[in-house]
Structures are given as structure tokens and as C-alpha cells.
Amino acid sequence: MQRAYFDHNATTPIAPEVLETMVSCLDQTFGNASSIHHFGQAAKQRLEAARRQLASLIGARAPEVVFTSGGTEADNMAVLGVVRAAGPRHVITTAIEHPAVLAACAQLEREGAAVTRLRVDGAGVVDPDDVRLALRPDTALVSVMHANNELGTVQPIAEIARIAREAGVPLHVDGVQALGKIPVDVDALGVDLYSMSGHKLYAPKGVGALFVRKGARMAPLTFGGHHERDRRPGTENVPGIAGFGAAAELAERETASDGERLSGLRDRLEYSVLDRIAGTGVNGEGAPRTPNTTNLYFDGIDGEALVIALDLRGFAVSTGSACSSGAITPSHVLTAIGLSAERARASIRFSLGRSNTAAQVDALAGALEASVAHLRRISVHA
């Protein structure tokens, strides 16, 4: 059986160029980047080259890029670090953030901070005016994701940044699902902190980064040596970071062309499903979205059952965030946009990537039609 992967928002395969870079680094550049001898300095050069590659992708200056173990650590470093540096104060975020942000905010509440979680509209977009209205004299941070991991909806970050800047409040953006899918320029957006993750960008798992604008105040989360300009102690994962840098360079060349091709395939899938299968619709329709993501509901179907049925036919999809896979409660993102618990559980996320083709999309549509018909038939007779 030939298999097709439609779950790129969960993770991506490592690009050949990235793998080649990592193997070279593992084989030849084994030194500790903090050592002053030849082997250490060779590792340091690879580390700083990757920092420049990632900075170039997001329009930042290399010293503003801090490498982390992934997007979750980057989110925690930003949210906890900024607010703890300011003291127990007030945070503004949204109801559809990734658990890495929502759980960090919940921890701040336990430490005495106040948190405002803004509602979104039916397409999953926050109103910038709601951010303005939620601001208080003691607001220490605004944290709004760039693109939602389940819906693909893109938030009006530049407008939110202007509002936050006028109030003198730093803005953190979780950019994990945006980087490499849409253009990112931290200066044009006006953000102060921006979280990134390698494995969403055809780089390995276990490496991420946080853009920290010069002058941002952050309390440390971990303690040790003076790595990453005293932002994040610990010996750097040089092979992983080098791979992340190679992926960033690849993304800088290919984001525009990838986006154009993938948006066409996504639309092809949506049109085919809506035309061939009754009781379906697009969650988040009408909002700006990342070009590779669609979230569809199939009324009368259990989403987990449909994921399994499609896997048996050779197609990998998901019901939402991989970090929440197996959860009994419906997606907090889908209920936040107004879906009933039943419809939220009947929704599937399809996230496309470089390996997907029109033939795979057409085959997936056919598998969906057959699987939905079968599941609806057996549910009627159950």
C-alpha cells in the first residue's frame, strides 16, 4: 500500500538538504561550541551560521535569535520570562492558543498574575480592538499566535503590535505554525518576541528558537552556564541547530512557491469534499489562512474513527493538535469558534506539505467519500 502524509502541522519529514547538513555536522563537528580550541570553534562557527540563517528568514539580527529545545520551550521562555521579570501582573492572550502558551498562562495565574483570554470570531480571528479594550495599566505582556495549528487562520499581528506598542506593552507571538508557510518579518510585524520550531519546517525535532528584540526584559527559566547570551544555559544541540539553519535557508527560497502550490492543492481538496460528501463544511472559512491547512467537519462522524479509517486506506491525517491527541474533551479551538462539541469531534485537520501531489489529493477525496459513507452507514445500524 502506498501511503500519503497529510499531517504536516504535527511534524514534517526532514528535508534532504537538512539531513545532509546534520550528518556532516554529526560526523565532523563534534566539539563543544563553548570550547576555545579548534574543535570547539568549528562547532561555534556552525552554530552562528545557523543563527544568521534563521535571522535572515525572519528579518532579525543574529544576536536576537536564541536557540531552544523547541516551540514549547520558546513559548514558555517568552511568557513566563517576561511576566516574571515584571512581577505578578496582567497578561492578555486568546482562547485558541497552543497549550504551550495557555498552560504557561495558567501557571502565572497560580503565581498571582491575572490573565485575560480573548474570544475569537467564528473564523478563529481575534479582534484587535478587543486587545485594546483588555489593556490595563498593569499589563505586562500580550501573547497572540500568528497562525493557528488546527485551523490555519492567521491573526492580524501587525495591527495588534501597533496597539501593544502604543501602550508600551511587549508582544509575544507564537509563530510555530506560520514560519515557512507565510512570510515572516519581525520588524514589519512589530513583534518583540517570536517563537519558532524546527520540526514544523522540515528540520529535526528537539530544536527551536525564540526571537528576542534587543532590550526585552526576561527572567531566566533555567540556570547554569552563560550559553545563548545568558538567555538559555546548556550545551547547544549543534547538529540540530545546523539543520534548523539549513531548513531556514531552504524556506527563504521556497516559501512563496510552496505556498502557491499548496494553496491550490488545499482548495482542490476542499472543493472535492464539499462537492462529493453531504454534511461537510470548512471550519475557519473566510479568514486568512496558511496555504497548507484546512479543517473540515463531517456531520454524524466520530473524528477519531475517521482518522483510523483513513489510516487503514493509507492516509495520515489528524483531528487537531498532536499535543492534545487522545484527549476526551473536544478541541478548545473548535469550541472557541462556536462549534458544538459534537461537530468539533466530527472535524478533521488536513495539513499539506512538499511531498503532496494532486494525485494524492484526489485519492484522499475518494477515500474520504468511501470512509464517511461506511461510518455513517454503520452508525445508523448501531
Contact status, residue 361 vs residue 369, Cβ threshold 8 Å: no
**Sign (positive or negative) of CA dihedral 13, 196, 287, 345:** positive
Bridge partners, residue 147, by sequence: 154
Residue 91 and residue 105 in contact, taking contact as beta carbons nearer than 8 Å: yes
- Three-class DSSP category at 264: helix
The residues near 271 (Cβ < 8 Å, ≥ 6 apart) are none
Q: Which of 62, 85, 167, 323 is catalytic?
A: 323
Q: Provide the β-strand partners of residue 117.
A: 93
Q: Give dist(CA 333, CA 274) in Å, integer.
A: 22
Output phi, psi for 20, to 5 deg: -60, -45
The grid cell for 233 is: 544555559
The answer to whether 323 is a known catalytic residue is yes
For the chain, the straight-line distance linking the first and the last C-alpha, in angstroms and rounded, comes to: 30
Region of 190 please: left (phi>0), alpha (psi -120 to 50) or beta. Answer: left
The sign of the torsion formed by the CA atoms of 259, 55, 235, 20 equals: positive
Active site residues: 323
